[in-house]
Amino acid sequence: MYSTNFIDFENQNENIEKDEYGNYIVREKRIKANSMKYYMTLKDNNLYFVSTPPKNKKEIVAIDSVPKINWNISETESKKINNFTCYKATTVFRGSEIVVYYTPEIPIGFGPFKFKGLPGLILEVYNVDTKGQKYHWKAKKIVYPYQTNIDLLFNPKNHIVPIVSNRSIVENFEKKMTLVSQKVITSSPRGDVTRLGKIERTSIEKKYEWEEE
């Protein structure tokens, strides 16, 4: 289970403040990030993520079509993770530079979040980012081979909750952030010049495929 960018603005009455440089700051009283479970299919690039919402709120199921990742594999850089020999690979994923370590000793081409496509299980992932959020996944415990059957509790064909697209989630979230920014402008005193700029993404996904259409 990993954290997600599904954010619930619990209090819609933002605190709008002005800092010492004259910039306006919007402070939410409380922001919740729902935990998520990810399910990736073997036959295609679809990934389903299911939210674990707060009480009295509906579960959210979304689908994302993850692009094929072009990996640059290093044959010289390696390290040990949980006694497995792991090799370094890098890529650019949706605008972020990504570094991973995978092990051919576990011949399963998957990893954390939306990363897959290497000749072995990815045991560590992090982004190289000079600004924005830092992400780092690393395996703490590995049981291989794992003999116990797992009930995934999710089947997209039988799921009764409507499945929404990742695109709709991203666009709706950014519309909400734009409305918050517009409130800053309407709340500023007369005479102040406040410009509404483009929302800058600080998450690991900075540019999506549909934006290149």
152-162 pLDDT, tens per residue? 656 666 666 77
Banded pLDDT at 189 (limits 50, 70, 90)? low
Residue 123 is encoded by which pair of tokens?
């045991």
Give 19-28 contacts, CB < 8 A, sequence gap 24+. 22/192, 24/184, 24/187, 24/188, 24/194, 26/180, 26/181, 26/183, 26/184
Range of the domain at 201: 2-212
How high does pLDDT run on average in the chain? 76
Domain tally, the chain: 1
**Cis, bond preceding 145 (omega within 30 deg of 0):** yes
110-142 pLDDT, tens per residue? 999 999 999 999 999 999 977 778 899 999 888
